[in-house]
Every structure is written in structure tokens, then in C-alpha cells.
Structure 1
Amino acid sequence: MEQLSSNRSHGGMQGVYRHASAATGTDMTFSIFVPDHAPGTKLPVLWYLSGLTCTHANVTEKGEYRQACAEHGVILVAPDTSPRGEGVPDDEAYDFGQGAGFYVDATEAPWATHFSMRSYIEQELPALIGAEFSADMDRQGITGHSMGGHGALTIGLRNPGRFRSVSAFSPIVAPGQVPWGQKALTGYLGEDRAAWREYDAVALIEDGARVPELLVDTGTADQFLEVQLKPELLDGACRNAGIALTQRLQPGYDHSYYFVSTFLGDHVAWHAERLKA
């Protein structure tokens, strides 16, 4: 693992690291903020998954989470959204290929060789974080934005014993029912819609996946609200399943990091309450 940068901030250290990934067969980059803590103390971990076109840098530079993480003693880890580099396939569209991994393990050529973001986020990177940092891997939460909100919801629903808390910003709640998701899931997984269901939060809930509660924020001025996000589908699925969903439609906010940064500290505090020892 190679440290690319380290900066003091809010009584903690913001680092960016690169490492060779067995899951993707490429180098991968992630950022991590570690608040100051007593020697030997292990801190809970909050995962933040980013959206289409993003890298680790978007939330690191625009998220405004460090003050809240320092206050509550929470590590925040922000991975990249896809494999990158020489020999990694790509697509000219912004919503597929590099920067648009959709947190799946691809099964279709040519994507299957490198696009194993599910395995990377669920298995490989947590093992690295647990080994190299002062992280209490028994206390993990997960959140994300847009495509990353989809990732947070699906990974949280598939791994309820690992994640004590799950939240999202402007998530794609039912990718199998909207253009972004239909394009990505067809490209990465093929035409069999049954294979899509484990990567679709609404479908997972319909198929029996359960978490105690969810927190979701979406802006009422989000330009993707009606066509791509469809928060009402998550409302219905959670109501039918008895999952306590706090879904807040924030008046006047759009899809940008102006929105995410406004409420990310609030999400950190919400997760911290649920990640107490």
C-alpha cells in the first residue's frame, strides 16, 4: 500500500492510498479520514460510496464530513467507483464503464475481467482497512450518493450482520426499473433480469432482505428524481416489509455536492449513534 497524500484536518489525518487489488486486477485508490484517538483505541468505520463519474476525490474534497467524524470519533473510507488503468475496458458514455462500476461483480465480457466492485467493497478493501488502520470492523456503517446510494443500500441489505447502519443520498433505489440501472445491469450482468435482483434494493427487499432501519435524503429539485431515482418505490417496499424508513425530501436541493455536503455531517452523527460500542 502506497500513501499518496496525508493532510492534518479537524484534529485527524486525511489520507489517500493506492494498492494493488486482487479483486479488480488493477491498482485501486481510496481515501480515509482517521480522527485522533488514544493509542490502542479502535474506531467505528463509515463507508461512503460515490456516484457516477466520481472518484474518491469528490467527497474527500467537497463532502465536508471531517468535523463531524472528528466530533463523533468515526473513520470515513471513500473508495473509487471502478477499476481504472491500462487494459481496463471503458465506454464513451458517462454512465457506463470506468467511473460507473455500479458496485457489481460483472459477468459479461469484457467487463468481467476487472469490474468486480462488489467483491472489492465487500471483501478485499475491508480486510485491508482492518489490518492497516485503527478500525473496529465489528462496528461498520455504510452510506453513498446516487449510484453509490444504490451501492450502500444493496450492500447493506445483503450484509445485515456486518453493517449496523445504512443510509443514502439520492439513491437509485430500483435500478432494474430505471434507465441508468437497466443499461448498467444489462451491460455488466447480461439480459437475465433474475441476476439483477441482488443488485436492486427494492428487489432485495421484495425477496426478503431486511435491515432494521434506513435513512435516505433526496432533494426535491434533483433533476433525476422522477426518472432515475423514484424514491416512492423504496417507500412502498419498506412499508410492505416493515422496515423503518426515514426518507426526507429536502426542499430545493439538487443532485450535487452542495446537497450532499449539507447533510453528510448529519448522516455521520446518525451512524455514530448506531455504531456506539
Structure 2
Amino acid sequence: MTIEAKSLWRSHGGMQGVYTHVSEACACPMTFAVYVPPHAQGQKLPVLWYLSGLTCTHANVMEKGEYRQAAAEHGVIIVCPDTSPRGEGVADVPDDWKLGCGAGFYVDATQEPWSQHYRMYSYVTDELPAVIAASFPMADMSRQGVFGHSMGGHGALVAALRNPGRYRSCSAFAPIVHPATADWSRPALGAYLGPDEAAWRTWDAVALIEDGARLPELLVDQGSADGFLQDGLRPWLLAEACKAASIALTLRMQEGYDHSYYFISSFMAEHIAWHAERFRR
């Protein structure tokens, strides 16, 4: 579980770092970012996982998400993994931004050639948490939350629904809520998981809820001017599933906002405060 610090920056009294390690789950080197807020010697801090969207790396939210001031204020560690394996020998489709590198969809692929490296679910829910626990002694792994954007919002919802009790909180920005039926995610699920669509249901938030998975509550922000709203995101499907399952969903339609980090950064501090409140319970 040895990690190498590639970059360290002082920010808002804490430390923003970028690290690499060799991943067993993904069978390649992986890069991730961690912000550790200012804290007293020996103090334990909750951990909030941010899962990024299609085409992104760890760097997008780190550079444009504007999370450090709120994380420092609330005393929350922010961990930002990459969105897929990368590097020599890793399968990719360079001319398709919805499949391959940058588009891991936070699933464990079962189909060749993807299954050798594309095990992002195991990476973000098992391997990287163990790395954080071993490498950051201030991290309180009994207080974890997860959130994300778009494909990463899908990943956050699925991780929380598949691991009841692990995360104290879950929220999302413009998540893909029903990827098994969305035009821009169906090809990836078919490539990674095979043609049997029944096998896709455990990687789909709406299907998981329909099949009995439960969470106490969810917070979702969605821009009304998002160009992917109608065909890819469709938050009303999550609302319908949560209502039927008596899951407390706060769905906020944000007028005039699109799918970009201008949208995410506008509501980032509110999400971190929301998670921090639940860490204190």
C-alpha cells in the first residue's frame, strides 16, 4: 500500500496532495488527490469521497471544484480518485469519450478486454479506502460520505446503495440515475458487463432501489439548463423510485445551471456542509 506524493500544496491552512500507487484492483498505477484540512495533532477527521464524471481525472474537481475552503471550515478530508485505469496496456477507445479511459463508470467489468483493468468499483470501495486508512492516520474511516458528478454521481449512488451502513451520507450533482436505460451509458454497460441486462441492475441506482436497496436520505442538485438532462440524467426517475421506496430525497432543480463545474462549484460548499452535519450525528 505504498503511495508516492507527486505534488503538495498548502491551501486554506491544510494540504492538497496528489499521490500515485500501484493498484491491484486495476492492475496499473493509479493517481488520486487528497485534501487534508487543518487539524489538531491526533484529531480524527471524517472522509468524503468525490467521484468525478466522464472524461475527467482526479484533477478536474481539484482545480475547478472549489471545495477546499468548505472542507477546511468543516474539518472534512476530501478524496478524489481518478475515473478509470490508464496507461500502457489498458484497453481504450480513443475516439469514444463514453467508453474506456476516463469512462470507467465505477463498475467491475466482466468482459474482455475490459475485465483486466476496469474494476473501479472495487478500487473506490475497497482498495483505495484501505490505502487512505493506512497512509493518512487522521482519517476516521468510521465516518465516510460519498458524492459525485454525472457518471460520478451514478457511482456515488451505487456505492452507497450497495454498501448500506458504510457511508453516513450520499449526495450528487446531476447524476446518471438510471444508466441501464440511458442512451449515453447503455453502450458502456454492455461493453463492460455483457449483453445480459439483468446483470446491469446491480450497477444502476434506480434498479437497485426497485430491487430493495435502501438509504436513509439523498441530496441531489440538477441544473435546469443541463444539455444532458432529458436523455442521460432524468432525475425524475430517481424521484419516482425514492418515493415508492420511502427514501427521503431532496432534489433541487437549479434554474439556469448547466452540466459544468460552474454549476458544481456553485453548490459544492452546501453539499460539504450537508455531509459535515451528518458526520456529527
Question: What TM-score, normalized by structure 2, do the two folds share?
Answer: 0.98
Separation in structure 2 between the aligned mates of residue 169 and residue 258 of structure 1, nearest angstrom: 12
Choose the corresponding residue for 2:110, options 107, 112, 120: 107
Counterpart residue number, 1:193: 197
What is the aligned length?
Answer: 277
SS at match of 1:188: helix
Q: How far does residue 181 in structure 1 lie from its aligned partner after superposition?
A: 1.8
Structure 1 residues 228-247: aligned runs within 5 Å: 228-247=232-251
Q: What is the alpha-carbon root mean square deviation over aligned residues?
A: 0.6
Separation in structure 2 between the aligned mates of residue 132 and residue 144 of structure 1, nearest angstrom: 23
Counterpart residue number, 1:43: 45
Contact 2:26/2:120 (8 A) holds in 1: yes
1:89 aligns with 2:91: yes
Q: How far does residue 36 in structure 1 lie from its aligned partner after superposition?
A: 1.1
Which string of whole-angstrom CA distances, capped at 9 and with x for unpartnered residues, describes residues 141-176 of structure 1? 000000000000000111121101000000000001
Separation in structure 1 between the aligned mates of residue 180 and residue 111 of structure 2, nearest angstrom: 17
Counterpart residue number, 1:270: 274
1:11 aligns with 2:13: yes
Question: What TM-score, normalized by structure 1, do the two folds share?
Answer: 0.99
SS at match of 2:185: helix
Q: How far does residue 273 in structure 1 lie from its aligned partner after superposition?
A: 0.2
Contact 2:98/2:185 (8 A) holds in 1: no
Q: How far does residue 179 in structure 1 lie from its aligned partner after superposition?
A: 1.0
1:158 aligns with 2:162: yes
Separation in structure 1 between the aligned mates of residue 246 and residue 114 of structure 2, nearest angstrom: 37
Q: How far does residue 41 in structure 1 lie from its aligned partner after superposition?
A: 1.0
Q: How far does residue 56 in structure 1 lie from its aligned partner after superposition?
A: 0.2
Q: How far does residue 131 in structure 1 lie from its aligned partner after superposition?
A: 1.1
Q: How far does residue 190 in structure 1 lie from its aligned partner after superposition?
A: 0.4
Contact 2:217/2:248 (8 A) holds in 1: yes
Residue identity matched to 2:154: H
Counterpart residue number, 2:210: 206
1:249 aligns with 2:253: yes
Counterpart residue number, 2:123: 120
Q: Percent of aligned positions with the same letter in both sequences?
A: 66
Unaligned runs of 5+ in 1: none
Unaligned runs of 5+ in 2: none
Separation in structure 1 between the aligned mates of residue 4 and residue 39 of structure 2, nearest angstrom: 23
Separation in structure 2 between the aligned mates of residue 71 and residue 166 of structure 1, nearest angstrom: 20
Where do 4+ consecutive residues of structure 1 move more than 4 Å?
none
Q: How far does residue 252 in structure 1 lie from its aligned partner after superposition?
A: 0.2
Q: How far does residue 242 in structure 1 lie from its aligned partner after superposition?
A: 0.1
Q: How far does residue 239 in structure 1 lie from its aligned partner after superposition?
A: 0.1
Counterpart residue number, 2:228: 224
Separation in structure 2 between the aligned mates of residue 79 and residue 144 of structure 1, nearest angstrom: 11
